[in-house]
Structure 1
């Protein structure tokens, strides 16, 4: 596993773990790496220093870690916390239908499937067709659970 510091084209900085450098390149090329703050897929690696842990003896001798050197455990920006809360709410209250989103949304709209909140993935053309047919949909600022980075 490798951790990268990343930055989107609007200036948001964030970190993410990847299986390998090749995995990052593949996910980025397919548009699967997105900024958690704005959803932009124009993401680049940012300059990052390697994190080297001191030995246990050294760490004990140095005492507690200063606040500015502690690892990131929470969101860097209030928007990140809002997006996390939104994602939790959607995942708790809606059915994930994956790439069958357009088919399911259309079936619910036409009364062919039970009425329920859903979320999933749709190609831009599919989303456009749903909107033209009057199916009420809205894009979410995150990727479904199958494709998270």
Structure 2
């Protein structure tokens, strides 16, 4: 199994698992590799290193990263806090992407896909002609503006095709 760090044209970072390098190239050429954030099929490999499981006897190498960092800066007082503050922004994009994916999966699991009937179904629910429930679908910008003018709350939310289908 080959695990690759991948990036899309918008620099969203994600991981892909492939049987081999040839399998990755084949799927890439067929447009099967898509960014889970934006759905872009323009994907490239990022820098990645193989994971090596080597045994070590030193505390700093065997301790989890947080414990090793705390131990290294235990005597330095304020320097440990500064190091943690500097490291945090680099984690922010990955954490935001993870949060967005959780929200997207929640939306998919808890709403009904009404497709291009979204505007008409939202109106039917608003005026009491259909039972209220969570729905999702497609609407044009004009349809969305008209719904909002009628007092119907809508929220544009882009869902990549890769999230709409079950992974095998």
Shorter-chain TM range is 0.5 to 0.7
Identify the residue that residue 2 of structure 2 maps to in structure 1: 2
1:45 is the counterpart of 2:65? no
Identify the residue that residue 29 of structure 1 maps to in structure 2: 29
CA shift, 1:51, in A, is: 1.0
| CA distance in structure 2 between the aligned counterparts of 1:59 and 1:90, rounded to whole angstroms | 46
Say whether the 8 Å CA contact 1:7–1:45 is kept in structure 2. yes
Identify the residue that residue 63 of structure 1 maps to in structure 2: 62
Structure 2, gaps ≥5 residues long: 69-92, 122-130, 144-156
Structure 1, gaps ≥5 residues long: 70-74, 96-100, 110-114, 120-126
More helix by share: 2
Identify the residue that residue 12 of structure 2 maps to in structure 1: 12
Quickly say closer, same or farther: Cα 1:3–1:118, change in 2 above 3 A: same
CA shift, 1:21, in A, is: 2.0
CA shift, 1:52, in A, is: 0.3
Q: RCO (CA 8 Å, sep 6+): is it higher in 1 or 2?
A: 1
Quickly say closer, same or farther: Cα 1:118–1:9, change in 2 above 3 A: closer
Q: Let me know the Cα RMSD of the aligned residues.
A: 4.1
Paired positions, count: 119
Say whether the 8 Å CA contact 1:7–1:46 is kept in structure 2. yes
Bigger Rg over Cα: 2
Quickly say closer, same or farther: Cα 1:83–1:66, change in 2 above 3 A: closer
TM-score in terms of structure 2 length: 0.50
Quickly say closer, same or farther: Cα 1:77–1:26, change in 2 above 3 A: same
Quickly say closer, same or farther: Cα 1:21–1:60, change in 2 above 3 A: same
TM-score in terms of structure 1 length: 0.55
